[in-house]
Amino acid sequence: MMRFARGDGAAFEVLYRRHEARVFRFLLRTLRDDAGANDVMQEVWFAVARGADRYTPTAKFTTWLFTIAHHRMVDAIRARRPTEVMDLNTDSGEALLDLPSADARSEPLNALQIEDQAAAVLRAVEQLPAEQKAAFLLQAEGELSVGEVAVATGTSFETAKSRLRYARTKLREWLRELA
Amino acid sequence: MTQEFDPGDAEAFERYRAASRQEGAAPSESTRAAILAEGRRMAARRLEAPAAQGLDRKRPTAHRSRWKLFTAGSVALAGLATLLVVPRVFEPSNRHLTASDEVSRERAVPPPPATPAEAGPSLQAERLAPSAPKSFASSQARTASAQRQFSAAAPRTADAASKAASNSASNTATAAASAAGGAAALGGVLTESPTPLPGSVASLWSAIAAGDSRRTELLLDQGADTRGLDPLGRTPLSLAVIRQRADLVRLLLAHGADPNARDQSGDTPLERARQEGRADILAMLQAAGAH
């Protein structure tokens, strides 16, 4: 990143190739829309290219990158579905447990009939409530710690921890049912 | 956090990652091309920007804010270092002097004269301290001379005058030996200090946060406190667990870090390890007595 900030175009390409898949998967799972994910992907990397001067080496690059990705993703969801609840200032992850639709739990169960178990796992992740899904994916794709997830999502450490805990608990239950 | 660690936590991650990779999702070629073109465009613009900056002669580099900050910081640091070092170097007590300084001091200080008359002329003082620096020898001569004048003006006992000369010469010698010892004396003071160096706790945080195991071990060997909390209320062990650094966790436990110490949010390192889904760190903590 420092090389790119000094004007090395090849360094940007290396950086992009290294993180391309992880950022795209994060956006695809959260937005659940291929075209939308491509649009936001472009916005994220444009922001990286234009904001390289603002990047400080004290922060981990992936934390910075996924913070941008998370913000752009939230903007895209809000622009697309203004009525959808995506309250980043919620202090507790528990209140969000009621957010998924009534058939949210049954959908992963139906995945038992899906031959491709991998697709069922992805489906289960996509069924998580928005904030829990974002927190889970920031850890799974961005490899961020709990503290870094809190920074990226603009929440407290405790909130990030709660969201991760609930996401893991749900996935664990669903995976057991899948097994 | 009463819930027990379940291997399902790690399994959820692993199964998701495997499934996600298997799916092979990737952005479209047009998106990729647009991003890479933008990267090249911004890189080219950055290459041009420094050249333009160099031509700006209206504002010399030294007047740029970052240089001003750097200069102010350096001056402040130098002042702080002076405040810390000077009192220790010129301290009358020889508690912090190294063995080599002791030897040089003994060679430099003449034995106290039994009577004021034995103090002799200034040349005699110079002869008694052949290895001392010239400035120190003349200083000692002046001390002896002053003592002689003092003895003539005020009829005190020979013992009192002798003691005064001895103390004066001793203090002068300590200061001179310390000053002549320079960096060596300072090194002796620092290495002999029985307490951890100032800032070693903050350094420990810095080393753990940077994942620097060598520096962490060095600081722990020097006695850095493993019980303190950082500004976010975390113990060193908790931070190492959060960073998922099994090697640092092992180091901290080996240096006596409490595996059950709670951080400000009330979590133990064991609970942090569960949150991070690291079974190896969890096992390490449990082996160290965490419960």
CATH assignment at residue A150: 1.10.10.10
Q: b/e per residue, A76-86, with b = 16+ CB within 10 A?
A: bbeeeeeeeeb
pLDDT digits over B215-229, tens only? Answer: 888 888 888 888 887
% of chain B exceeding 70 in pLDDT: 53
Residues A63 and A103 in one domain: no
Mean pLDDT of B275-291: 86
Per the structure, the complete domain to which residue A72 belongs is given by: 2-80
Number of separate domains in chain A: 2
HSE-up of A98 (CA within 13 Å, CB side)? 2
pTM of the model: 0.43
Lowest mean pLDDT among A20-34, B36-50, B101-115, B232-246: B101-115
Residues of B in contact with A45 (CB under 8 A): 35, 38-39
Query: What whole-number distance in Å separates Cα of residue A166 and Cα of residue A168?
Result: 5
Residues B167 and B226 in one domain: no
Query: What whole-number distance in Å separates Cα of residue A111 and Cα of residue A106?
Result: 9
pLDDT digits over B78-116, tens only? Answer: 999 988 888 777 665 544 444 444 444 444 444 444 444
Q: Distance (Å) from the C-alpha of residue A104 to the closest C-alpha of chain B?
A: 18
pLDDT at B26: 86
Contact B46 A6 (CB under 8 A): yes
- Beta carbons of B136 and B155 less than 8 angstroms apart: no
Of A41, A58, A80, the position where a domain reaches its end is A80
The CATH number of residue A28's host domain is 1.10.1740.10
Q: Distance (Å) from the C-alpha of residue A166 to the closest C-alpha of chain B?
A: 11
Q: Which of A3, A4, A6, A12 to mutate to test the interface with B (most CBs of B within 10 A)?
A: A12
The verdict on residue A126 lying in a domain is yes
pLDDT digits over A22-43, tens only? Answer: 999 999 999 888 898 999 999 9
| A3 vs B131, more confident | A3
Q: Which of B19-23, B43-47, B233-237 has the highest mean pLDDT?
A: B233-237
Per the structure, the complete domain to which residue B280 belongs is given by: 200-287
Alpha-helix runs per DSSP H in B154-265: 158-181, 183-192, 200-209, 213-221, 236-242, 246-254
Q: Which residue has the tokens 């890189």?
A: B43
Mean pLDDT of B20-28: 82
- Does residue A115 surpass a pLDDT of 50? no
pLDDT at B58: 52
Residues B204 and B187 in one domain: no
With both helix axes pointing from N to C terminus, report the angle between A117-126 and B7-23 in degrees, rounded to the nearest 10.
110
Q: Which of A15, A17, A23, A24 to mutate to test the interface with B (most CBs of B within 10 A)?
A: A24
pLDDT at A27: 93
Give the max Cα distance, chain A. 53
- Beta carbons of B111 and B157 less than 8 angstroms apart: no
DSSP B28-75: -HHHHHHHHHHHHHHHHHHHHHHHHHHT--SS-GGGSHHHHHHHHHHH
Of B162, B192, B222, the position where a domain reaches its end is B192
Residues of A in contact with B275 (CB under 8 A): 146, 161, 164-165
Residues B188 and B219 in one domain: no
Residues A103 and A72 in one domain: no
pLDDT at A176: 77
| B163 vs A24, more confident | A24
Q: Distance (Å) from the C-alpha of residue A67 to the closest C-alpha of chain B?
A: 18
According to DSSP, residue B280 is labeled H
Q: How far is residue B192 CA from its own chain's centroid?
A: 14
Residues A115 and A161 in one domain: yes
Contact A171 B12 (CB under 8 A): yes
Q: Which helix (H) or strand (E) holds B276?
A: helix B269-276
Query: What whole-number distance in Å separates Cα of residue B17 and Cα of residue A138?
Result: 12
pLDDT at A82: 53
Q: Which of A13, A121, A159 to mutate to test the interface with B (most CBs of B within 10 A)?
A: A121
